[in-house]
Amino acid sequence: MSPPTTRFFSPQWAAEACAAWNAGPSAAVKATKLQKYWDWIEDARQRTDATLGLAVEDLPGAGPDCLLLRLEKGLCTRAELVARSEAAARVTYLLTGTYAAWRDLMSGYDAGKTIMYRKLRLEHGELLDFFKGAYMWTESLACLQTIPTELPASELS
């Protein structure tokens, strides 16, 4: 029996995103890379005090289309959903992608490639500062893939 799913970009999903961010990668994922890599990521997390916005350009249905994650020393201390139009004034970094890009990411597409191939684009924030922590951001985004998620149907599917 599969675990219950949570509707994408619902308040419950936002809370689960915060928890998944804080849990970090599983032991099985950590075993796939050198410990020095994870040590570097932990060091980068400890230096991260920021608000990260994750926005969906064409989210099906009504409701907020941007998740704000407040990070203190790399840990998520608050998650809230807002309209993308209000996010830029409140974030350090804003990553934006189409619903199709988010659907692919949540279905298991590589988080690093999602950023590298600009499926999620840095729409707001200092590019150089963001990419100084690129591996930390991508590994943390990959943690969101662990949330059993119910994705809304898209008219373009």
Q: Is residue 32 part of a domain?
A: no
pLDDT tens, position by position, 104-147: 999 999 999 999 999 999 999 999 999 999 999 999 999 999 99
The average confidence (pLDDT) of the chain is 93
Q: Is residue 127 part of a domain?
A: yes
Q: What's the pTM?
A: 0.93
Which amino acid is present at 99? Answer: Y
Q: Find where tokens 């991508």 sit.
A: 138
Spatial distance between the Cα atoms of 56 and 62, rounded to a whole number of angstroms: 12
Instruction: Return the pLDDT at 78.
Output: 98
Mean pLDDT of 39-64: 94
Q: Is residue 64 part of a domain?
A: yes
Q: What is the dihedral of CA 22, 89, 113, 62, to 10 degrees?
A: 90
Phi, psi of 150 (to 5 degrees): -95, 115
- DSSP code at position 68: E
What CATH code is carried by the domain that includes residue 109? 3.30.1050.10
Contacts 24+ apart (CB under 8 A), 131-134: 132/44, 133/44, 133/47, 133/48
Look up the domain containing 82 and give its range.
6-26+48-147
Q: Find where tokens 């990419």 sit.
A: 131
Q: Is residue 102 part of a domain?
A: yes
- Spatial neighbors of 140 by CB under 8 A, at least 6 apart, are 21, 24, 45
Instruction: Return the pLDDT at 95.
Output: 97
Q: Is residue 155 part of a domain?
A: no
Q: Is residue 36 part of a domain?
A: no
Q: Is residue 80 part of a domain?
A: yes
Mean pLDDT of 86-110: 95
Q: Is residue 40 part of a domain?
A: no
Q: Look at residues 106, 93, 99, 18 and name the one whose alpha carbon lies nearest to residue 51.
A: 93
- Spatial neighbors of 33 by CB under 8 A, at least 6 apart, are none
Q: How many CA atoms lie within 13 A of 119 on its CB side?
A: 18
The total number of structural domains in the chain stands at: 1
